[in-house]
Amino acid sequence: MVNILVTGGAGYIGSVTSEALIARGHRVTVLDNLVTGHREAVHPEAAFVEADIRDREAVSAAVRDRQVEATLHFAALSLVGESMERPHDYFENNTVGTLELLGSLERAGVRKFVLSSTAALFGTPESVPIAEDARIAPESVYGETKYLIERTLAWLATGGLGYAALRYFNAAGASETYGEDHRPESHLIPLVLQVAAGQRERISVFGDDYPTVDGSCLRDYIHVRDLADAHVLAVESLRPGERRSYNLGNGRGFSVFEVIEACRRVTGCEVASEVVGRRAGDPATLVADSGKIKRELGWQPRHHDLDEIVGSAWNWRQRHPHGYSG
């Protein structure tokens, strides 16, 4: 058993990962300011601290009182478009906030750190699938904030910090208990399911003239439970002073039109869609090469099927038609 601090544990991926950690017998403390997270998403067996990662006293007290040995860091602002409109907020919250958190952890002697990173580091890829050694060239403030954190971690590792940076592609799906409830929602699958549920009139498809199988963008969708498993493996195997970076995806791309059709199949509902202009900065294809974490940690995604991923999200949405609020 490891005593683990999960920042952002009231959010989407943090809540599902906390659930997986507790199922493995670990002792979890969730620290979340609830700006974007939900108190209902905190596992009942986890201790909860409502605080910001920049609150040195609160972080230090949580680490001391719960004898924290490792940290999984999910807390962040994460909307790419919003980051371009509010760059200062993103640098302050994500990069500066993480530096404050790392300082508190260092003073407390916590030397294992798993970062929720992102495929946004790579910008428009030179080739796909994308491996960890691909050119890093963020095209958004959000991606840049995560890259700066990764660079900081690499320097801190020279002083003994062990870290793993997990670069996700498109997280999707839900566990039996915890699911996706962003406000506003920006992810494709929950947006399409809102149309199926009659909560949204139609889904917009941003461009149908890309060099892909049907003209819409291709993305690598990975089940959130598989992401959680990767975090568990990373924190359980991490040692002080180690430096790791892993890409997390299924290794297969699904187009926007394929996702919409999967939602129609799973829900049995009509889903109106409309093609609109491309969004600036949307690469045609983003697919992960996750061979490194499979070789080094034995990770294997268990939920490859798009209908299964969509089905888990739809089941959660039916139990929570208005998210955690209802």
In DSSP notation, 66-96 reads TT--EEEE------HHHHHH-HHHHIIIIII
- Structure-token match 């970062």, residue found: 115
DSSP secondary structure, 123-187, as one string: -S-SSSSBPTTSPP---SHHHHHHHHHHHHHHHHHTTT-EEEEEEESEEE---SS-----SS---
Q: How is residue 87 written in tokens?
A: 């760059």
Active site residue 90: no
**Nearest CA-CA partner of 285 in 128, 163, 158:** 128
Give the active site residue among 90, 142, 210, 246: 142
* Residue indicated by tokens 């090469």: 289
Q: Are 188 and 271 in contact (CB under 8 A)?
A: no
Catalytic residue numbers, as ranges = 142
